[in-house]
């Protein structure tokens, strides 16, 4: 084993820098957290707390008793996964399902691969897709954001804007007929729309993204490539037929688009190493997202698209590896 000379991304040199980055991400998620608590009330706190406790607990148990290695639950990575998981589910999801989600994210998607830095797929997204396919009813009953409430009783539920458009177009309606049913762009920006906890407010997410850019936790390449592709692709469709395709602004502001572009596609473990690779990665996510949103059976495609492109990352990294002088472009000179 020459694991000391070759290792996958990210090339983290010390625990301290991991910690700094991870807690930076947590801090960047605070605005979105506050918005979700404001709109979904006590339920949002329940989901956030439960996801965090469960994720940290599973990480601790697995590191201590199954892998029998050092316990690193204080490096913040499990907390980031937990908050992202909470952001990706409806606020009224039953507690036991949140715990299952945490087990899948930490136990299956992260620890089975050996822990932080080795996972191929974004843990929170694996858990989200797992939950979506396992519990389709509960994962698609979105409580309406109605301002802070202390109650734990079921809030009224409604569809997400994407769901309304997909259903409506599927039933043969046109975009102008659907206009009154979907929220205005101002509401999208603030967060007054049905959806997963963390994805509702565009402003809060953008604030977090700007903070991470400023702190150099992320670079602009992936989000800009991804969002740019979505804008171009949907503009073309919208330009061809504005009655049967939603406009680009709608696509940008609704669903998990911004949450995915800013916080999940940029996850440095499961994204490409070079900037060139990151742009290819972002463009791929953008194209797949629009394909699934417009023609697929699921109204939202961001999480599927990111997972699919996660699988392509090893190939992208190969293609964009800085070539060493004199090395033939042969493919199989490993091990």
- The residue (of 4 and 151) whose beta carbon lies closer to other proteins is 4
Contact residue for other proteins among 72, 140, 149, 187 (CB under 8 A): 140
- The residue (of 144 and 173) whose beta carbon lies closer to other proteins is 173
- The residue (of 51 and 111) whose beta carbon lies closer to other proteins is 111
In DSSP terms, 268 is beta-bridged to none
Q: For the chain, how far is it from start to end, CA to CA, in angstroms?
A: 9
Give the single-character DSSP code of 74. Answer: G
**What span, in angstroms and rounded, lies between the C-alpha atoms of 245 and 229?**
16
117 burial level (CB within 10 Å; 0-12, 13-18, 19+): middle
φ/ψ (deg, to 5) at 229: -60, -45
Confirm or reject binding of residue 126 to other proteins (CB under 8 A).
Answer: yes
**What span, in angstroms and rounded, lies between the C-alpha atoms of 15 and 235?**
44
Contact residue for other proteins among 177, 236, 311, 321 (CB under 8 A): 311
Confirm or reject binding of residue 136 to other proteins (CB under 8 A).
Answer: yes
**What span, in angstroms and rounded, lies between the C-alpha atoms of 231 and 210?**
20
**What span, in angstroms and rounded, lies between the C-alpha atoms of 56 and 81?**
10
To the nearest whole angstrom, how small is the minimum distance from the Cβ of residue 298 to other proteins? 6
Confirm or reject binding of residue 297 to other proteins (CB under 8 A).
Answer: yes
To the nearest whole angstrom, how small is the minimum distance from the Cβ of residue 317 to other proteins? 8
CA 241 from centroid of its chain's CA atoms: 30
To the nearest whole angstrom, how small is the minimum distance from the Cβ of residue 208 to other proteins? 25
Confirm or reject binding of residue 296 to other proteins (CB under 8 A).
Answer: yes
List contacts with other proteins (CB under 8 A): 3, 6-8, 66-67, 100, 108-109, 111-114, 118, 120-121, 126, 129-130, 133-137, 140, 167, 170-171, 288, 291-292, 295-298, 301, 303-305, 307-308, 310-315, 317-318, 330-332, 334-335
């Amino acid at each position: 084993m020459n694991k000391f000379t070759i290792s996958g991304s990210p090339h983290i040199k010390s625990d301290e820098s991991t910690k700094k980055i991870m807690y930076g991400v947590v801090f960047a998620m605070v605005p979105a957290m506050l918005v979700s608590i404001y709109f979904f009330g006590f339920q949002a706190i329940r989901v956030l707390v439960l996801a965090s406790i469960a994720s940290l607990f599973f990480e601790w148990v697995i590191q201590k008793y199954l892998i029998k290695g050092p316990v690193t639950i204080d490096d913040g990575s499990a907390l980031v996964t937990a908050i992202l998981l909470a952001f990706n589910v409806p606020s009224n999801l039953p507690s036991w399902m949140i715990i299952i989600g945490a087990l899948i994210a930490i136990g299956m998607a992260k620890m089975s691969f050996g822990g932080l830095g080795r996972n191929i797929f974004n843990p929170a997204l694996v858990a989200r897709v797992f939950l979506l396919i396992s519990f389709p009813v509960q994962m698609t009953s979105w409580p309406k954001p109605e301002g802070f409430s202390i109650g734990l009783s079921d809030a009224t539920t409604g569809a997400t804007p994407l769901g309304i458009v997909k259903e409506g177009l599927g039933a043969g309606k046109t975009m102008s007929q659907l206009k009154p049913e979907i929220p205005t762009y101002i509401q999208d920006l603030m967060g007054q729309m049905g959806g997963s906890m963390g994805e509702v407010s565009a402003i809060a997410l953008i604030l977090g993204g700007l903070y991470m850019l400023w702190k150099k936790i992320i670079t602009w390449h992936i989000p800009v490539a991804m969002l740019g592709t979505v804008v171009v692709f949907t503009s073309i469709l919208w330009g061809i037929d504005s009655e049967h395709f939603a406009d680009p602004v709608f696509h940008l502001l609704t669903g998990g688009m911004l949450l995915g572009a800013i916080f999940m596609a940029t996850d440095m473990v499961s994204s490409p190493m070079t900037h060139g690779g990151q742009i290819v990665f972002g463009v791929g996510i953008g194209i797949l997202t629009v394909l699934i949103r417009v023609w697929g059976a699921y109204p939202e495609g961001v999480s599927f698209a990111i997972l699919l492109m996660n699988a392509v990352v090893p190939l992208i990294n190969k293609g964009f590896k800085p070539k060493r002088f004199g090395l033939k472009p042969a493919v199989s000179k490993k091990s």
